[in-house]
Amino acid sequence: MWLFIRHFHGLPSAKKNSNMKKPWINSIIILCVLLITGYARLSFEQKLNEEMLELKLIPKSYDMDTRIALKQKSFAAGIGSLRPTIAAFMNVSASNDHSKQDWQSLESKFNDIVLLDPHNPYYWETGSWHLVSNASASSRDDEELPEVTRRKLYRQYINKGTEFIDRGIQMNPDSWQIASLKAKRYANKYRLPDFDKAADEYLKLSKMPNVPSFRRDLFKRKALYCLAKVPDKHQEAYDLAYKLYQDPNNRVPSLLNALWIGQSHPLNKVKHRYSLLDIYKTQNRAYKWLRVKWIGSIRHKDEAMYGVEKTIRGLEQILLIPQPNRVFPTQALKPMFIPK
Amino acid sequence: MIIPRKTSFISLPRISVIAGHTFTQLVRMKVFYFLIIFAVLIWALKQFVLGTFTGGDTASEQQLRLLKSTSYFAMNLFSIVMAISATALLIPKDIEDRTLYTILCKPVPRLDYLIGKLLGVLLLIFVSLIFMDLLLSVMLHYNTQSLIASEISLMGAGGNSEVLQERITTLNAHGLTNNIHYATLVIFFKAAVIASVALLISTFSTSTIFTLILTIIILLIGMIQADARELILKASERGETSIISKLSMFIVLVFPDFQLISVDDGVIDGKIVPKLTLLKITIVSFFYVALYTSLSWFTFRKKEF
Amino acid sequence: MTDSGVTRDIAVEVRNLVKSYKSSFKRQTFQAVDNVSLQIESGEVYGLIGPNGSGKSTTMKAVLGLISPTAGSCRVFGADSTRVDARSEIGFLPENPYFYKHQTSAETLRFYGKLCGIRGKKLTNKVNELLELVSLEHARDRRLGGYSKGMLQRVGLAQALIQEPQLLILDEPTAGVDPIGSREIRDLILKLKSQGVTIFLCSHLLEQVQEVCDRVGIIFEGKMVNEGTLEELTEIRNQHEFIIKNASPALVQDIEDLIANNQQAEVVRSGKPRSSLEKLFIDTANEQKHNKKGNKS
């Protein structure tokens, strides 16, 4: 009986077994094909990846920590184009924090926003502006806090804003827009300015590769205006003003004033002393621009202005400026005519 | 004497019949309603969100960026969901409803059936993406023009013409360019690769849920694949071999790199997609689709129902 | 492999077909079809009958190439059934056919016609012709979602006929169809038979099989247990039947007397002896069960 069954089932079962193994064989074949094609595409893909990173088409992996932070924050971060959208909505909600003056929440939101949309200069600008200008001032003026804390918070937020900009520069080393935020931050005369550093930053900016040429000149002039505010850098300021003056495109009123002041500084070594008419072309223009400069500087008291008072006085005599309109009236005025 | 007619191994007309049929089937499943949702989304965005960007030198292009990022997100979402679910659902549905019997009992090679199904799903995604791309293009064009007009009117009198020119250039770079369409095309490629992965899994998976989950896992792994590759390269530079680097190697070799098939991040940032790069992305995508479709056929060719 | 001269008149040839499945949890194998052989000649109507789960559908699927044999082979008009070519001459109606619910019957037929490479005016004509044949012209533009079971069965039949196949495989063609519809389908089968189409059907509605089939195979637990022409199978071997025309009562009496005088023979019944396929089938099934019990004990 046993033999009979054996005979009956013997042949098919041998074949059947090979059939049973098939799923495994199939899986192994598929895995092998995937591995082989994986090797084949590895270098092409790596090159394409590098090319796309170069073109900024895909986000660079800055460091693992940033990535992990981001991925823990939201699953959605996996889908590329969602990130800027989330960033935009967080920006809307951060503006509510601004109106509620909830600076801690605003700060943490902007830290996330820039992770979500790291190449967008707008968020670096807005975030740093909130920290440097708004959060600092609001803390300084918060009368519920003790004086020491207020001063501490004021500095702290300005520093945080500066660090925020630094991070932006680190993530976007090619972006002059973000780099310019740092220069602007140091040149901001209302928030712990550092004109020396600002001048440095502007000079660096003027040398960045992808800056439009008109901006390059502008940055150089801004570097000059910042240098002019650093008491020890009068010689550097003059040298730069002299150098920029050589290009007729640079001859804007502020630069002309800076050159005039620079060559009037008693300690400066002057390369070539230009006459007033050389610089300003007409006495009227000289008077107009120097007057603007003088009045502005009196308001800010942030810059030494050698020779300006003397020149204005002289021009007011020569041009017969009516007494009420003079910066330096030679007659006593009725109180109502004192210039503001 | 009856001799069975020869049936070619692969036939374009037959594939197009199955693809056309799959497309109709999906259309009649009312998937195009999503396009209405898309249009409403874009409209709501314009109404309620675009105006919230104020201040700063780059405020105005934020509107264009947001328009792009939201549209691309919706395109990604739609195409990925469609690619995974439609592909994962259709073949098991055919088996369950026994419609597959009637198809495979006609002289239809299984490869034709698979390619037809895949192309049907892709055709639907393609048509939807074209619609969304058109809507995005119109919105982008209109918004860019109105932003430029307002820049001109703001700076027009006595403004620096170089600054104005720079603003216009920036806005145009963020506005409607060919790059917008390239990004849409690449989203389509990504969907095609995902669909072919889902197709492969559905040929051996026994449940739709399994297919869906496995495809999503592969998608997620494929998105961090570039990191794994970087990890290996760094480790091999240092001459290290750890379990993690071996595991990364495995991931790199076996899983597709979805990060390569995506330029929308860059296009949202106003970056340019060179044609050569686009071509390379196309090659990579076609390679993946062909690979996974071939493997699908390999498992499906002897599958028993 | 086979000499073409031999296969000329053979529409379906199943040789020593074995199909086994592995149950997923235990390491046991289940033999769905066990060494089944059958031949269907061109133009013949062949019925495969057996209880549920006896291997009818598996055999059909093997002929259709939906499954590949564990051992043995299936050929359709000489072509290996695992090859796509074999299906160009096959029309198949599955059991309880479900089609795409979103399509109308006309669209369904067009779809299957296009799959077979029929296009244009030829396709339109064929679709119209078939809709008329299965009496569905009135519902041609309604979606199949709203069709009754009988209507779906008719769409299925029309679909199977779309490329004018030489072999029609019908899996339970009348299951769930009302008696009138069932009769229509039977008439259609006979009509196709008269046109020379080979038909391979499986059913458990035995009366119908009896009505249309030239030859029948009985399959039980995967094994072919009986096969032959209807006459052969339904013959009651220890009985004899005379059908006499114009017999006078006296002649009948004489015959009865003659038999009465014989020691062994007896008249069981006079008139027309009737057996049915159904009886035969049940007898065979019982016999098999009995044998199996015997083997175990």
Q: Identify which has the larger pLDDT, B224 or C107.
A: C107
Between A16 and A59, name the one with better pLDDT: A59
> Quick one: tokens of A120?
């967008």
**Contact state of B52 with A49 under an 8 Å Cβ cutoff:** no
Please, what is the average pLDDT of chain C? 82
CATH fold for domain A64-192: 1.25.40
Give chain C's radius of gyration (CA, Å). 23
* Closest residue of chain C to A20, computed from CA coordinates: C22
Of A158-172, B93-107, C170-184, the poorest mean pLDDT is in C170-184
State whether the Cα torsion A116-A118-A122-A126 is positive or negative.
Answer: positive
Task: Give me the CATH number covering residue C199.
Answer: 3.40.50.300
Contacts A126 to B, Cβ<8 Å: 55-56
What per-residue confidence (pLDDT) applies to B201? 92
Is C281 touching B (CB cutoff 8 A)?
A: no
Of C22, C31, C295, the CB nearest to A20: C22
Q: Which of A1, A8, A15 sits opposite C70 (nearest CB)?
A: A15
Within a domain: C11: yes
Distance CA A27, CA C44 (A): 44
Question: B: neighbours with 3+ CB pairs under 8 Å?
Answer: A, C
What is the per-residue pLDDT across C184-203, written as a single tens digit (0 to 9) for each? 788 888 888 898 899 998 88
Chains linked to A by 3 or more Cβ pairs within 8 Å: B, C
Q: Per the domain annotation, does C252 fall within a domain? A: no
- Range B134-139 average pLDDT: 93
- The minimum CA-CA distance between C22 and chain A, rounded to whole Å, is 7
Q: What pLDDT, on a 0 to 100 scale, did the predictor assign at position C113?
A: 93
Tell me the mean pLDDT in the region A202-215.
87
State how far the Cα of A20 lies from the Cα of A28, in Å rounded to an integer. 14
At residue C31, φ and ψ (nearest 5 deg) are: -90, 100
- State whether the Cα torsion B195-B199-B201-B202 is positive or negative: positive
The percent of residues in chain C predicted with pLDDT above 90, rounded, is 17
Of the candidates B3, B25, B107, the beta carbon closest to that of C116 is on B107
For position A8, what pLDDT does the model report? Answer: 33
Q: Would you say residue B197 has pLDDT above 90?
A: yes
- Give the number of other CB atoms < 10 A from CB of residue C10: 18
Contact between C112 and C126 (Cβ < 8 Å): no
Judged by CB atoms closer than 8 Å, whether chains meet at B2 and C11 is answered as yes
CA atoms within 13 A on the CB side of C241: 11
Q: What is the Cα Rg of chain B in Å?
A: 23
What gap in Å lies between CA B123 and CA C210, rounded to an integer?
A: 50
Residue C294 lies in a domain: no
Instruction: Report how far residue B179's alpha carbon sits from residue B71's, in angstroms, rounded to the nearest whole number.
Output: 14
Instruction: Decide if pLDDT at C275 tops 70.
Output: no
Q: Which of B300, B261, B235 is nearest to A41 (CA)?
A: B261
Which of A:12-71 have CB within 8 Å of B?
A: 22-23, 26-27, 29-31, 33-35, 37-39, 41-42, 44-46, 48-49, 51-52, 55-59, 61, 64, 67
Give the pLDDT of residue C24. Answer: 63
pLDDT reported for residue A141? 86
Domain ranges of chain A: 64-192, 226-329
**Of residues C97 and C26, more confidently modeled:** C97
Mutate to test the interface with C, among B106, B112, B305 (most CBs of C within 10 A): B106
Number of structural domains (chain C) is 1
Residue B294, pLDDT score: 94
Q: Is residue C210 domain-resident?
A: yes
Contacts of B260 in chain A (CB under 8 A): 45, 48-49, 52, 58
pLDDT tens sequence across B242-252: 777 777 788 88
- Write the DSSP assignment of chain C as a string of letters: ---HHHHTTEEEEEEEEEEEEE-SSSS-EEEEEEEEEEEEETT-EEEEE--TTSSHHHHHHHHHTSS--SEEEEEETTEETTSGGGGGGEEEE-SS----TTSBHHHHHHHHHHHTT--HHHHHHHHHHHHHHTT-GGGTTSBGGG--HHHHHHHHHHHHTTT--SEEEEESTTTT--HHHHHHHHHHHHHHHHTT-EEEEEES-HHHHHHH-SEEEEEETTEEEEEEEHHHHH--TT------TT--HHHHHHHHHHHHHSSS-----SS-----HHHHHHHHHHHHHHHHHHHH-
The pTM of the full predicted model, rounded to 2 decimals, is 0.82
Q: What is the pLDDT of residue A143?
A: 84
Those of residues 60-119 in C touching chain B at CB distance below 8 A are: 61, 64-68, 76-79, 84-90, 92, 94, 96-100, 102-103, 111-112, 114-117, 119
Residue B99 in this model has a pLDDT that exceeds 90: no
**Of the partner residues A1, A8, A19, the one whose CB lies closest to the CB of residue C70:** A19
The length of chain C is 297
Could you tell me the pLDDT band of residue A144, with boundaries at 50, 70 and 90?
A: confident
Contacts of A18 in chain C (CB under 8 A): none
The model's pLDDT over A73-105, given as tens digits with 9 standing for 90+, comes to 544 455 566 778 888 888 888 888 888 888 889
- Residue pair C31/C222 in contact (Cβ under 8 Å)? The answer is yes
Helix or strand or coil: residue A63?
Answer: coil
Tell whether C166 is within 8 A of chain B (Cβ).
Answer: yes
Higher pLDDT, C274 or C214: C214
How does residue C272 score in pLDDT terms, banded at 50, 70 and 90?
Answer: low
Test mutation, C22, C115, C143, C197, chain B, max B CBs within 10 A:
C115
Tell me the residues of B at the C interface, defined by beta carbons under 8 Å apart: 1-7, 9, 11, 13-14, 17-18, 21, 24-25, 28-29, 97-99, 101-109, 302, 304-305
DSSP 8-state symbol, B47: I
Distance CA B15, CA C292 (A): 50
The residue of chain B nearest to residue A180, with distances taken between CA atoms, is B57
Average pLDDT, chain B: 86
Fill in the DSSP letter of residue A138: H
Under the banding of pLDDT at 50, 70 and 90, the label for residue C279 is: low
Answer yes or no: do A8 and C35 touch at CB < 8 A. Answer: yes
* ipTM reported for the complex, 2 dp: 0.83
Structural domain for C62, as ranges? 4-101+148-236
Which of A164, A109, A158 has the alpha carbon at shortest distance from A136? A158
Question: pLDDT at residue A5 above 50?
Answer: no
Percent of chain B with pLDDT over 70: 94
* Mean model confidence pLDDT for chain A: 80
Distance CA A239, CA B64 (A): 44
Is-contact B132 B33, C-beta < 8 A?
A: no
Residue C140 domain-assigned? no
How do residues A249-307 score in pLDDT, each as one tens digit? 888 888 888 888 888 888 888 888 888 888 888 888 888 888 888 887 777 666 777 88
> How would residue B115 be classed by pLDDT, with cut points 50, 70 and 90?
very high
Angle at A161 between CA A155 and CA A166, to 5 degrees: 125
For residue B138, the model assigns a pLDDT of: 93
